[in-house]
Amino acid sequence: MDIQDSTAKIKYLIRDRDVRYQAGFDAVLAAEGIEVVRTGVRMPRMNAIMERWIRSCRTELLGRTLIWNQAHLLHALREYETYFNQHRPHRTLAGAAPLRPLPEPITEPARLARLDVRRRDRLGGILHEYQHAA
């Protein structure tokens, strides 16, 4: 898809200061009305959070899905965003999701012996959510 074919209006492109981006790269974007914003000098982690999200999305979703059209892509991305923020465990949050804290630990031996965990599949089974049954 080309920039002019998209229905969204792109205003900014955030990029790092890599020498591979030559002046012609910025000129092409400026001709399309896109302002190039460079990350800070000597700040390699400035884009790290977004780059990590994109990598997770590519490996966990887009690498396993055949996308039919733009509407299907947008639906899949919305589902993945919900899954990523509400159900997927994150190491930096000690296994919690960004929008949901960890549940209280189960310490009663009787409850541990009869755990009832339910799985919900999203996007045709590509993503799995696990929850304790009520």
User: Domain range holding 36?
Assistant: 1-46
Please indicate, yes or no, if residue 55 is contained in any of the structural domains: no
| DSSP letters spanning the chain | --GGG-SSPP-EEEE---TTS-HHHHHHHHHTT-EEEEPPTT-TTTTHHHHHHHHHHHHHTGGG----SHHHHHHHHHHHHHHHHHTS--GGGTT-BTTBPPPPPP--HHHHHT--EEEEEEGGGTEEEEEE--
Closest C-alpha to 124, from 69, 90, 80, 74: 80
Whether this prediction's pTM lies above 0.75 is answered by no
* Model pLDDT, residue 9: 80
Please indicate, yes or no, if residue 120 is contained in any of the structural domains: no
Please indicate, yes or no, if residue 133 is contained in any of the structural domains: no
Please indicate, yes or no, if residue 31 is contained in any of the structural domains: yes
Number of structural domains found in the chain: 1
pLDDT exceeds 70 at position 1: no
Which tens digit of pLDDT belongs to each residue from 53-101? 889 999 999 999 999 999 999 999 999 999 998 888 887 787 788 888 8
Please indicate, yes or no, if residue 74 is contained in any of the structural domains: no
